[in-house]
Structure 1
Amino acid sequence: MEIGSVAEWATAVAETAAVLVALFLPYFERRRADRKSTRNLKIMLRGIVRRAITDNDPKSLETFLNISTFTDAGERDKETLNVAQQILELFTTENTDVERRNREIEALLDTIQP
């Protein structure tokens, strides 16, 4: 039994590396795409909440939450969407002082960092 030449060993190592890259590259690409999608969701959500505070109208936030529950973001970004739901509930609470409500919303928004 012969060990083989250096060229054969180099070829074997290169082929093994190529197979590993081919197997794991889609996994890493999917993770990167998910992170980017989560970041974009958080940026969009922060903008929608800021606009809802300015307009004192949470309709766009409510629509955003309804739509995002039907997308793949609903499972992946469950925590972020739960915070958004809490913010929406603060808007719909009747007996809340506006300044106090806005401070609580800002505190919740600070937990959503892109």
Structure 2
Amino acid sequence: MELGSLAEWVEGLGELLAVSVALFLPYYQQHKQTKEKNQRAKQVIIGSTNTLLSQNEVAGTASYRELAGFVSIYMVLVTNDKAGEIITLGSDIIDIINNQTHLSSEQIAQIKNKLAELDAIKP
């Protein structure tokens, strides 16, 4: 019984690798894109919220409108469970602010808890 030459084995291994890449590369790319989108959503919400917390007046500012607009638009575009969790926490932050001009210490503590929950989510 003949096993074949080394060149045939290398060719067969190359074909196997090519088929594996062709089958699994689209899945990997989609997973990577989803992860990047979730990470960007987290960054926008965390960044906007931290900007709001550092300002004297909250409601009506450009940062508040940006955060509210981002959350409302992204809520419609949610395509996976992780993005849903991220946007839900962003919506909770907006609900806590609730068009308040000045935030109480209790509201700030609640927002910081939501930010900690958001930071704990792995995209």
**Do Structure 1 and Structure 2 share a fold, with TM-score over 0.5?**
yes
Q: Which amino acid aligns with 1:59?
A: R
1:13 equivalenced with 2:13 (yes/no):
yes
Offset at residue 108 of structure 1 (A): 0.7
RMSD (Å), alpha carbons: 2.2
Q: What does 1:1-114 align with in structure 2 at a 5 Å threshold?
A: 2-53=2-53, 54=55, 55-57=57-59, 58-71=64-77, 74-76=78-80, 77-92=83-98, 98-113=104-119
Following TM superposition, the consecutive aligned residue runs of length 4 or more in structure 1 with deviations greater than 4 angstroms are none
Please list every run of 5 or more consecutive structure 2 residues that lacks an aligned counterpart in the other structure.
none
**Structure 2 CA distance, aligned partners of 1:93 and 1:108?**
17
Query: What percent identity do the matched residue pairs reach?
Result: 24
Secondary structure, aligned partner of 1:4: coil
**Structure 2 CA distance, aligned partners of 1:69 and 1:91?**
18
What is the number of residues matched between the two proteins? 110
Structure 1 residues 5-57: Cα deviation after superposition (integer angstroms, max 9, x where no partner): 22212211111111101221121122112212211111111111123332312
Q: TM-score, normalised by structure 2?
A: 0.76
**8 A contact 2:71–2:87 mirrored in 1:** yes
Please list every run of 5 or more consecutive structure 1 residues that lacks an aligned counterpart in the other structure.
none
Offset at residue 2 of structure 1 (A): 4.5
**Structure 1 CA distance, aligned partners of 2:99 and 2:72?**
19
**8 A contact 1:52–1:60 mirrored in 2:** no
Q: TM-score, normalised by structure 1?
A: 0.81
**8 A contact 2:58–2:99 mirrored in 1:** no
**Structure 1 CA distance, aligned partners of 2:47 and 2:16?**
47
